[in-house]
Amino acid sequence: MNSPARKRFDLIAFDWDGTLFDSTRIIVLSIQGAVADLGYAVPSDEAAAHVIGLNLVQALAHAAPDVPRERWPELSERYKHHYGKHIHDVTLFPGTEAMLQALQAAGYKLAVATGKGRAGLNEALDISGMRRYFAATRTADETRGKPDPLMLHELMVELDTPAERTLMIGDTTHDLQLAANAGCPAVGVNFGAHPEAQLRALNPLYIAHSTPDLHRWLLLNA
């Protein structure tokens, strides 16, 4: 693909899980395994997928509402145990590195805004080799979690980019609501955690059906 001609945006912020990293199924299984370990009602695939993108404690609390607050730390540790067993099983969506290379070469500032914790994102960046593409990253345990706009506001300040020149890309309504709360345009991808109908309800500029589709849209519109 040819390098994109910059038109509308200077900063492109990506969600991580379900947007760049194909980890949705592993996260769902890890949530379900953690809840089962504690002996509570295991959430459905749909319920577990819906909370992807939130910070970990918030996500687990929503997915397993019958787990009492005093057991949330234990639930979090069991989730990390299950996810840790599969960290090397998840991969980038096909075409991700080519897209990031092209965007970086064209002069876009790239960032990650994720519901993961810092340790988890650092591990994923190292395993995938993607750290070199991102000028800045924010995780839910070092700022406020989605859809609070603070993490995106912090990225915009750090990278000296106004909201109207910033594009947020994600696979969940949490990502799109984050963008709306921060005053930024957004693009959804429908190959992650949330179904297309839910994404469309938040009026993204576009919904991509694959990473190459997203890459093509950015070439023409970003």
Catalytic residues: 15, 17
Peptide bond between residue 65 and the one before it cis (omega within 30 degrees of 0): no
Over the Cα atoms of the chain, what is R_g?
Answer: 17
Contacts of 178 (CB under 8 A, 6+ apart): 113, 146, 147, 148, 149, 151, 152, 168, 170
- 48 contacts 31 by C-beta, under 8 angstroms: yes
Q: Could you tell me whether strands 186-189 and 166-170 are parallel, antiparallel, or unpaired per DSSP bridges?
A: parallel
Task: Quote the CA–CA distance of 184 and 137 in Å, as a whole number.
Answer: 17
Give the DSSP H/E element, type plus range, for residue 1: none
- 51 contacts 173 by C-beta, under 8 angstroms: no
Task: Quote the CA–CA distance of 68 and 203 in Å, as a whole number.
Answer: 36
